[in-house]
């Protein structure tokens, strides 16, 4: 039970990252797990699978599997998560997420309101969350989800990622410049990068920074992901272009409406209102286009539902002959076909499970650990510094960049031009939720499908997005799945709502949780099964069998 009797802290008081009583709960869980393991029936076959027998044996075996799976949770998330220290460093909370709370005219959060947010996060009291003052009609995005427990895979607060880059760091400066350039280049077709003077200017500017986003920048890798397959072929993954078989009765053509309203939040009053939770509105769209530039990609990840891209990819892959992973037992069975296990029902289920599981990890890190400000807030800090309203300790690389100068020349402010009228969501930035989903769902897809197989009949969008043309190169399933994960993560950067590191660490966080999910489910199959094999985003190949992941 959570103790709600404590009084709120004084304004500006810093709080611990974890809930009171978490250590007591951990000790109790450990004792209960040990006791359950001792008392569980051993009604499990030699291969670790439940035996078929009388109902009592089946129940005991099922219980034993759950105990074995739960024991792995005790070894995850045992180290204290680390922060970048910004929240304790700045009395004005310049680097902390505070959107929708009351703000002064500099866009700085009211410290009393922020103290109440911290109190609610520390106590996990539902009533305390309802007592947080807001500055407008926008509501905070589901902060209590940060406390949810998971019963499969790695629990939401079990995955560990590096601390968010600090506000004054060279890395944040470079990331913010990249997001400025994303906004400036939104309407340049991906197919035109080789001839675009604007994209060439972005390459030159980003290479001048102390920190290099994604390493040294070139026309061939600018704004792309950093995983195996990301640099092969077109910018957009085949799984965002190819038709989607939707059951046996229809096919979904992947053409989508393109925003028509231009950029938002380039005026100071509009920016300030949105920080206070006011303003915003719908983003108008028209036409039907294949994704062909940053604006269409940004809108795709504005209007999608969780796991949409990865369910679509699963449906496409299920229609590709012999695309299943080489380790699938149904490749060798002559008289049986897959369905509930190793087939469509299994794959679609685990992709969906992985997506929501990954969101619990994202929300834990967002609300209870990092609380990093969004890029739109950094844009406000740049504007106030450059115009003399207040000086913030931003890195000089950013303040003196060509990116910042071009944004000012275009709009008369240094505010980040946003693709969405409402700007970012009302939850902290680090890590990116879309990226966590992408990392988890892609990991499941790589476990079930043959990464080395070629995508049949690859395509590329024409420069105007009106149609698809054949693409002459060879593209692998694994490479295009990695590219899909990064398209979804970086699509949020194109919209202005995330920085690159939030996508990278989000993908890593989701991968960790999905590997835990696959470890749990690898215990459940009756088929003769050597294990799931997949290539991690860092290039390491692993096998997951009987609850254990090993390098191969």
**Where are the domains positioned within the chain?**
22-145, 170-526
Which of the four pLDDT bands, split at 50, 70 and 90, describes residue 52? low
**Cβ-proximal residues to 249 (8 Å cutoff; 6+ apart), any chain:** none
Q: Are 165 and 149 in contact (CB under 8 A)?
A: no
Q: What is the pLDDT of residues 364-421, one digit of tens each?
A: 999 999 999 999 999 999 999 999 999 999 999 999 999 999 999 999 999 999 999 9
User: What confidence category does residue 239 fall into, taking pLDDT thresholds of 50, 70 and 90?
Assistant: very high
- Exactly one of 383, 395, 434, 498 is catalytic; name it: 434
Chain segment 128-186, per-residue pLDDT in tens: 999 999 999 999 999 999 999 998 899 899 999 999 999 999 999 999 999 999 999 99
Distance of CA 534 to the CA centre of its chain: 20
Strands 459-461 and 285-289, by their bridges, are unpaired
| pLDDT tens, position by position, 457-473 | 999 999 999 999 999 99
Q: Which residue has the tokens 């008369």?
A: 412
Predicted pLDDT at 12: 36
Is the pLDDT score of 71 beyond 90? no
- Pairwise pLDDT comparison (177 vs 43), residue with the higher score: 177
Q: Given phi > 0 = left and psi -120 to 50 = alpha, else beta, which region is 147?
A: alpha
Alpha-helical segments (H) within 329-468: 344-363, 375-387, 396-399, 402-411, 433-448
pLDDT exceeds 90 at position 18: no
Active site residue 365: no
Whole-number average pLDDT of the chain: 91
CATH pick for 170-526 out of 3.40.50.720, 3.40.50.300, 1.10.606.10, 1.10.260.40: 1.10.606.10
Tokens of 437: 């989903």
**Separation between Cα atoms, residue 129 and residue 119, nearest integer Å:** 9
Distance of CA 15 to the CA centre of its chain: 26
Confidence class for position 48, pLDDT limits 50, 70, 90: low
427 catalytic residue (yes or no) = yes
Q: What percent of the chain has pLDDT over 90?
A: 82
Full 3-state SS string of 441-476:
HHHHHHHHECCCCECCCCEEECCCCCCEEECCCCCE
pLDDT of residue 62: 87
> Please, which pLDDT band fits residue 521 given cuts at 50, 70 and 90?
very high
Phi, psi of 331 (to 5 degrees): -70, -25
pLDDT band, residue 6 (cuts 50/70/90): very low
Active-site option among 103, 365, 427, 498:
427
Q: Strands of 541-545's sheet, edge to edge?
A: 532-535, 541-545, 548-551
Contact at 8 Å (CB) between 88 and 14? yes
Tell me the pLDDT band of 49, cut-offs 50, 70 and 90.
low
Measure the CA–CA gap between 90 and 99, rounded to whole angstroms: 17
Considering Cα of 240, then 243, then 246, then 251, what sign does the dihedral take? positive
Q: Is residue 43 predicted with pLDDT exceeding 70?
A: no
The pLDDT of 252-281, averaged and rounded, is: 95
Average pLDDT over residues 416-430: 97
Residue 17 has pLDDT above 80, yes or no: no
Q: Is the pLDDT of residue 343 over 70?
A: yes
pLDDT confidence of residue 405: 98
Task: Over range 337-346, report the average pLDDT.
Answer: 97
The angle subtended at Cα 52 by Cα 49 and Cα 57, nearest 5°, is: 90
What per-residue confidence (pLDDT) applies to 51? 55
CB 524 within 8 A of CB 545: no
């Amino acid at each position: 039970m959570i103790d709600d009797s404590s009084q709120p802290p004084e304004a500006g008081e810093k709080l611990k990252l974890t809930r009171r009583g978490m250590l007591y709960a951990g000790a109790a869980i450990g004792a209960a797990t040990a006791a359950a393991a001792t008392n569980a029936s051993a009604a499990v076959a030699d291969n670790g699978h439940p035996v078929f027998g009388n109902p009592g044996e089946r129940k005991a075996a099922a219980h034993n599997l759950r105990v074995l799976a739960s024991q792995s949770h005790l070894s995850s998330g045992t180290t204290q998560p680390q922060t970048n220290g910004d929240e304790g460093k700045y009395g004005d909370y310049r680097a902390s997420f505070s959107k929708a709370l009351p703000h002064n005219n500099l866009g700085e959060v009211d410290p009393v309101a922020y103290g109440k947010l911290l109190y609610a996060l520390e106590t996990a009291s539902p009533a305390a969350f309802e007592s947080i003052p807001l500055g407008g009609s926008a509501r905070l995005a589901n902060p209590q989800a940060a406390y949810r427990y998971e019963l499969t895979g790695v629990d939401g607060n079990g995955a560990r990622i590096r601390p968010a880059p600090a506000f004054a760091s060279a890395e944040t400066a470079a990331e913010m410049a990249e997001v400025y350039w994303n906004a400036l280049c939104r309407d340049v077709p991906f197919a035109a990068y080789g001839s675009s003077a604007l994209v060439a200017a972005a390459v030159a500017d980003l290479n001048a920074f102390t920190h290099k986003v994604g390493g040294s920048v070139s026309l061939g890798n600018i704004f792309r992901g950093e995983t195996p397959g990301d640099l092969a072929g077109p910018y957009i993954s085949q799984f965002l272009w190819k038709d989607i078989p939707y059951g046996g009765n229809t096919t979904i053509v992947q053409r989508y409406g393109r925003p028509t309203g231009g950029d938002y939040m380039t005026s100071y009053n509009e920016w300030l209102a949105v920080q206070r939770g006011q303003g915003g509105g719908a983003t108008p769209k028209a036409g039907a286009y294949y994704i062909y530039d940053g604006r269409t990609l940004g809108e795709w990840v504005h209007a999608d539902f969780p796991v949409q891209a990865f369910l679509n990819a699963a449906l496409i892959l299920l229609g590709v002959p012999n695309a299943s992973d080489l380790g699938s037992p149904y490749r060798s069975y002559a008289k049986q076909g897959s369905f509930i296990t190793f087939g469509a029902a299994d794959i679609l289920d685990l992709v969906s499970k992985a997506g929501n599981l990954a969101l619990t990890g994202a929300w834990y890190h967002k609300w209870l650990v990092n609380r990093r400000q969004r890029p739109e807030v950094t844009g406000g800090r740049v504007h106030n510094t450059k115009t003399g309203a207040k000086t913030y300790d931003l890195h000089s690389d950013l303040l003196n960049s060509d990116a910042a100068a071009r944004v000012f020349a275009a709009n008369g402010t240094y505010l980040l031009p946003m693709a969405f009228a409402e700007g970012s969501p009302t939850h902290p930035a680090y890590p990116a939720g879309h990226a966590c989903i992408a990392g988890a769902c892609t990991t499941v897809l790589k476990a079930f499908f043959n990464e080395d197989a070629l995508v049949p009949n690859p395509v590329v969008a024409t420069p105007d997005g009106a149609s698809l043309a054949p693409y002459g190169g060879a593209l692998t399933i694994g490479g295009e799945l990695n590219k899909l994960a990064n398209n979804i993560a970086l699509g949020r950067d194109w919209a202005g709502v995330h920085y690159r590191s939030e996508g990278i660490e989000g993908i890593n966080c989701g991968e960790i949780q999905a590997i835990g999910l696959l470890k749990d489910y690898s215990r459940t199959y009756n088929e003769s099964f050597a294990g799931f094999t997949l290539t991690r985003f860092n290039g390491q190949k692993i096998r997951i069998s009987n609850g254990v992941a090993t390098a191969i």
